[in-house]
Amino acid sequence: MAESESNGSSSGGLPESDTLDEEALRTMIATEFSGEGFYNALADRIDNAEAARLLRNNGKEEAGHARRLLRALSLKVGHEVEPTPEMLSPTAIQLPDSISPGLLSTIKDAELEGDLSYQRWAENEADPQVARLLRLNGREESIHAVRVEQVMALLTPPQVALDPA
């Protein structure tokens, strides 16, 4: 899940550095696990079954990103890493009761930024297996942005053309 931050401190878990060390990977794992709850909470506030399904699909994939990052961390440290309680503790999510197009647009942009971050980390990763996992996560972040855009289209009332006659 892509969220912005400033000064390298984690507001959403995305380090601004060009590489992911062990600590940054642990932060990202927690962020990605929280993404499932985030997208499910969004879906719960949407009164459109297809839009809610798209958002829940994003959430499932966010949890998959966390599992991939666990594999990447295991590769980096040389042994199997199990998720810690801190990694599995959901981040508190504050969402409005109704989801605005502006919020969805911000989420879409954050997902696209997430792809760019994952690609940057992959390019600077020495281990090709870890780089491949990072690239996969990045590509899926862009897919999430497309789904959010589809949700926006589903929730936008159609424009009615006025007959000038």
Task: Look up residue 139 and give its amino acid.
Answer: R
pLDDT of 93-139, one tens digit each? 889 999 999 999 999 999 999 999 999 999 999 999 999 999 999 99
State how far the alpha carbon of 49 is from the alpha carbons of 1, 54, 58, in Å.
Answer: 22, 9, 14
Q: Report the length, in residues, of the chain.
A: 165
pTM of the predicted structure, to 2 decimals: 0.84
Q: How far apart are the first and last CA of the chain?
A: 50
DSSP per-residue codes, 103-158: HHHHHHHHHHHHHHHHHHHHHT-S-HHHHHHHHHHHHHHHHHHHHHHHHHHHHSPP
In the chain, % of residues over pLDDT 70: 87
Inter-residue contact 54 to 147 (CB < 8 Å): yes
pLDDT of residue 148: 98
The class level of CATH for 22-155 reads mainly alpha
**Residue 161 confidence class, pLDDT cut points 50, 70, 90:** low
The number of CA neighbours under 13 Å toward the Cβ of 54 is 21
